[in-house]
Amino acid sequence: MWPVWRLEVEVRVLCARHPHLGLLAALRRYPELRGEPVILGGAPELRLPVVAASEAAQAAGVRVGQPLRQAQQSCPAAVFVPLDPTGVARLHAAVCAELHRLSPTVEAGDEEAFGDLSGRHAEFPDEAAWASALARGLRGVLDVEIAVGVAGSRFVARLAARASHPGRIRRVRSGD
């Protein structure tokens, strides 16, 4: 019987949290709205929920999932914009392409993206340098600061990213 060789590679996952891709697409389409209260989801007379809200709208009490009419009452100065599926698809493809450039396995959603950091990439001396390169690349694609978490599982990486601040990387050692 031949011996079985196993390479044990420590699993490391990167989670990058960013504003909703639909909101970013709307702000690219209407750059004059940057810094203003913006609510993504459509006109307030529609019976639809808020899909995303800018920081200014959130500060006025707007929350994702609440009815658009209620959001209008919370923030009367807000600008309501519809979801742009084409712009969202373009941003999603750009995020995936950037992650694929530096990570073999990726997954991207509306507000977070995951990359596999297991093993080592020849261009980078360690995990921190690799995570920084991925964060810089995503920041360049999305044109916003992102919060990054790196851990041994997807769940813990997500928690680390949520506990991190935009422009920062929070790393959790395996077993912690």
The length of the chain in residues reads 176
CA 166/CA 61 separation, integer angstroms: 21
The residues that are catalytic are 112
SS3 state at 134: helix
Across 50-78, b (16+ Cβ under 10 Å) vs e yields bbbbbebbbebebebebebeebbebbeeb
